[in-house]
Amino acid sequence: MRTLILASTSIYRRQLLERLRLPFQVVAAEVDESPHHAESPSVIARRLAKAKADAVARLHPDALVIGSDQVCDLDGAPLGKPGTHARAMAQLRAMQGRVVVFHTAVAVVCVDTGFAGEAMATVRVRVRPLDDATIDAYLHVEQPYDCAGSAKSEGLGIALLESIESDDPTALIGLPLIRTCSLLRAAGVPVLG
């Protein structure tokens, strides 16, 4: 089997990929993640997943490289990783009582074989009505400043939500494993034999 590389330093993506019990390496993708002018959240996610996979695949042409990106979409506008408590407060205030869409794209690339595949999972999340005290308490406990949308559904952030709709449940955490498995099988990786 070819070397498998995850083109991401995200601990969340690494933990998800470990579920597949395939040996893999982690290589940071040096990619400018700035959105292009008038680019929709879903297009940003697709473009960056492919760019990350391509950047690492150029450095490791014999490897099979997985790139992924997630963009939180509130009314067609991308919400990035907040980075700070104040920005996370603002994001959760804006999202409370509303439906937010998370676009999680995955790309698998191998330069030597010419394989290139992409897939997208879309997750609709209904955030329950929240007051500032609840938002502040949550942020102090979990500090999800490195998460698009300022909450971790796999942790205490689940208490902020009313519902999650998706056909690929790990997509909300950062890597759609159902779609990733499909792409890996198409590339010749025997996921579960």
Tokens representing 140?
């102090």
Taking the CA of residue 28 as centre, how many other CA atoms within 13 Å lie in the half-sphere pointing to its CB? 4
Diameter of the chain measured on Cα atoms: 54
Tokens representing 109?
């690339």
Question: With contact defined as beta carbons under 8 Å apart, do 54 and 117 qualify?
Answer: no
Q: Is 54 a catalytic residue?
A: no
Active-site position among 69, 112, 136, 146: 69
Residue 136 and residue 54: Cα distance in Å, rounded?
39
Q: Which active-site residues does the annotation give?
A: 69
